[in-house]
Structure 1
Amino acid sequence: MSYKKLFQCIGLFACLNLLTACTVTDLDADGNPIIPKDPNAVVSFADFTLSEVADQLWQPKVFPEATQEFTPWESIKSQLDAQQINTKQSFFVRLNGTIDSVNLGKMRGVITLKVGDTNIDLQVGRIIKGNAIRDASKYVLFDDFKNQIRFAQISREFNNRAMASIGEPDTSWVGEKATVIAAITIDQNTISDAVPMQITRGGK
Structure 2
Amino acid sequence: MSLLSCASLLLTACTVVDLDAEGKPIIPPDPDAKASYSNQTPQQVVAQSWDSKVMASAHSQALDWGGLLEKSRSLTPGKSLSVFVKASGEVTAVNRVSEREQNLAMTINGQPVSVQLGPVVRSNAIRDAAGFNFEEFTNQVQFAQLTKALNRQAVKQLPPVDASWQGKTVEALMAVTVRQDGVQEAVALSLKPEAP
Q: TM-score, normalised by structure 2?
A: 0.84
In the alignment, is the contact (CA less than 8 A) between 2:91 and 2:104 conserved in 1? yes
Structure 2 distance, partners of 1:154, 1:24, is: 36
Report matched runs for 1:64-103 at 5 Å. Answer: 64-78=56-70, 83-85=73-75, 86=77, 87-103=79-95
Correspondence 1:16 to 2:8: yes
For residues 86-125 of structure 1, the aligned pairs below 5 Å read: 86=77, 87-104=79-96, 105-125=98-118
3-state SS of paired residue (1:46): coil
2:144 to 141, 152, 158: 152
* Greater Cα offset, 114-123 or 49-58: 49-58
Once the two structures are TM-superposed, the CA of residue 43 in structure 1 deviates from its matched residue by 4.4
Hey, what's the Cα distance between the residues in 2 that align with 1:90 and 1:65?
13
Q: Distance in 2 between matches of 1:158 and 1:107?
A: 17
User: Structure 1 49/74 Cα, relative in aligned 2: closer, same or farther at 3 Å?
Assistant: same
Q: 1:16 to 1:54 in 2, by over 3 A?
A: same
Partner of 2:175: 183
Q: CA deviation at 1:79?
A: 5.7
Return the alpha-carbon distance in structure 2 between the equivalents of residues 132 and 99 of structure 1: 21
| 3-state DSSP of counterpart to 2:90 | strand
The alpha-carbon distance between structure 1 residues 17 and 50, as it changes in their structure 2 partners (threshold 3 A), is same
1:61 maps to a residue whose letter is K
TM-score, scaled relative to structure 1: 0.82
- Hey, what does 2:127 align to over in structure 1? 134
Which has the larger displacement, 41-50 or 127-136?
A: 41-50
Contact 1:66 1:93 in 2 (8 A): yes
- Give the aligned residue type for 2:186: A
Deviation of 1:66 after TM superposition, in Å, equals: 0.9
> Structure 1 residues 31, 136: CA separation in 2 closer, same or farther (over 3 Å shift)?
closer
Tell me which moved more, 143-152 or 36-45: 36-45
User: Residue 101 of structure 1: CA displacement?
Assistant: 1.4
> Per the alignment, do residues 23 and 152 of structure 1 end up closer, same or farther by CA in structure 2, a change over 3 Å counting?
closer
Identical aligned residues as a percent: 32
Q: In structure 2, do the counterparts of structure 1 residues 31 and 113 end up closer, same or farther at CA, with 3 Å as the change threshold? A: same
Q: Tell me which protein shows more helix as a share of its residues.
A: 1
Cα RMSD, aligned residues only: 2.3
| Cα shift readout 1:131-178 (whole Å, capped 9, x = no counterpart) | 11112222x001111112222232111111111111221111122221
The whole-number CA distance in structure 2 between the counterparts of 1:30 and 1:77 is 56
